[in-house]
Structure 1
Amino acid sequence: MPPSTTSRRPTALAIFLIVAGAIGFWAAFQLTLDKLAVLANPNANLSCNFSLLVGCSKNLNSAQGAIFGFPNPLIGIACWTAVISVGVGILAGARFAKWYWMLFNLGVVGAIVLVGYLIAQSVTVLNVLCPWCMVTWVVTIPTFWAVTLYNLKEGNIPVPASARRFFGTLYGWVPLITIVCYAIVAIWAQVRLDWIHNVFV
C-alpha cells in the first residue's frame, strides 16, 4: 500500500501543530521571564505562584528545572518554534521526506520522555504543580500522539500494512487518548498531593 501522504496534505495536523506550538512557546516564554525575574531577585513574587501547591518558583530553582545545565524553558522555546515551523511548512505545501518525519518524531518522543520525567518529579519529589509547566504538559501529550500515530499510519515509520490500518484507526481517537492521559496524570497528582482539596477547598 503506497503512502497516502503523496495524495493529500495533513491540514488538520498542520493547524494543530501551529496552535499547540504557539501555546507551548507562550508557556516556555513565560517561564523564561519568571526565571529571569528570580535570577534578578530570588525573593521575587512571581505571578505563577498561587499557593504552596501551585507555583513555579520551586520548579525553577530546583535541579529538575535545569536538567542540562540551563533552564528547561529555553528548550521549550527552541523546540516549540520547530513544531510551529513544521505546521506552517505543511500548510505552505511542503512535502517532507520520510527521514524528516522520523527525525521530527524522534524529537517528539524526546519531548514526551522529558515531560513524563518532569511530571513524575513534580508529583513525587517537588510536591508542587507549576502552572506554566502544566500548560506544556497539556500540549506535549497530544502532540506526541498526533505526530506518532500520523507517521505510523502513513508509513513514515516503517510498519506492516495491517499495523498502518490499526494506527490509522487510533489516529482518529487522539482526542480521547489525550483525555485518558490527562485523567491518569490528574488521578496520580490527586493521590499524591490531594490537589482538589488544596486548590478548591
Structure 2
Amino acid sequence: MLAVWLIIAGLIGWSAAFALTLDKLNSLANPGAAASCDFSVLVQCSTNLEAPQGSLFGFPNPLIGLGAWIAPIVVGAAILAGARFARWFWLLFELGMLLAFVFVIFLIITSIFVLGTLCPWCMVTWLVVIPSFYAVTLHVLRTGMLPAPAGVRRAAGSLMTWVPLMAVLSYAVIVVLAQIRLDALTNIFGSLAG
C-alpha cells in the first residue's frame, strides 16, 4: 500500500509543480498576466509565485517539486518491483520527507499569515506531502529502519492504518487557520455566489 501511495502522491505532486512552473514561466514571458489558478484575491497563485517566499532558494519553488517528486514515484515503483532498500536509503528518504514536510508547514504559515492567499496548486502539494510524510515516518519506525523501542515500532505499525485520518485532521487544522485568519469560507463561497 505504501508503494502505491508513493506513486500516486508523486504523480499528483509532480503535476502540481509542473502547473506552477508553467504559470511562473508564463508570468516571466508576459509580466502582469494572471496565473491559470488565479480565481480571486484569496484563491490565487500569482501572489505566492511572485513573493520572495516563492523563490526561497533563489529559484522558483516549483522547480524543487519537479525534481523532488520523482523520488517517491521511483521508490514506489521499485518497491512494487520487489526492491529492498538498505537502512541508509530509508533514512535519507525519511530525511527528504521530513524536509518536504517542514517546507510545506513553512509555506502554509507564509501563505495564510503573510501573503493572505490560498494557492490551489500549492494546496495540492500540501495535500500529498502531509500524508506521505506520515506514512514514510511510520514505515521507517515500524520496520526498525529508524531505531526505536519495540513498543514504538508496534505503535507505528498500528498507526499506519490511521494515516488517512491523521491527514484529514491536519487538513482540518489548516482550514481552521485559514478561516480564522482569512475568513476563507465566506470569501470563497461569496465569490462563487457573486
Classify the TM-score, shorter chain: over 0.9
Percent of aligned pairs with the same amino acid? 57
Q: What amino acid does structure 2 have at the position aligned with 1:95?
A: R
Match of 2:43 in 1: 54
* Pick aligned residue for 1:120 from 105, 109, 113: 109
Residue 79 of structure 2 is aligned to residue 93 of structure 1: no
Deviation at 1:41, TM superposition (A): 1.1
Deviation at 1:170, TM superposition (A): 1.3
Cα distance in 2 for partners of 1:110, 1:81 equals 15
Deviation at 1:168, TM superposition (A): 1.2
Q: Aligned-residue CA RMSD in angstroms? A: 0.6
Deviation at 1:95, TM superposition (A): 0.3
Deviation at 1:91, TM superposition (A): 0.6
Moved over 6 A (4+): none
Deviation at 1:45, TM superposition (A): 2.4
TM-score (norm. length: structure 2): 0.97
After TM superposition, the structure 1 = structure 2 runs for residues 89-168 of structure 1, keeping only pairs within 5 Å, are 89-168=78-157
Q: What amino acid does structure 2 have at the position aligned with 1:47?
A: S
Residue 92 of structure 2 is aligned to residue 74 of structure 1: no
Q: What amino acid does structure 2 have at the position aligned with 1:63?
A: P
Match of 2:5 in 1: 16
Cα distance in 2 for partners of 1:163, 1:198 equals 43
Cα distance in 1 for partners of 2:31, 2:110 equals 22
Cα distance in 2 for partners of 1:200, 1:161 equals 49
Cα distance in 1 for partners of 2:122, 2:50 equals 14
Q: What amino acid does structure 2 have at the position aligned with 1:43?
A: G
Match of 1:181 in 2: 170
Structure 1 residue runs of 5 or longer lacking an equivalent are: 1-11
Cα distance in 2 for partners of 1:139, 1:42 equals 30
Cα distance in 2 for partners of 1:42, 1:58 equals 13
Deviation at 1:25, TM superposition (A): 0.1
Structure 2 residue runs of 5 or longer lacking an equivalent are: none
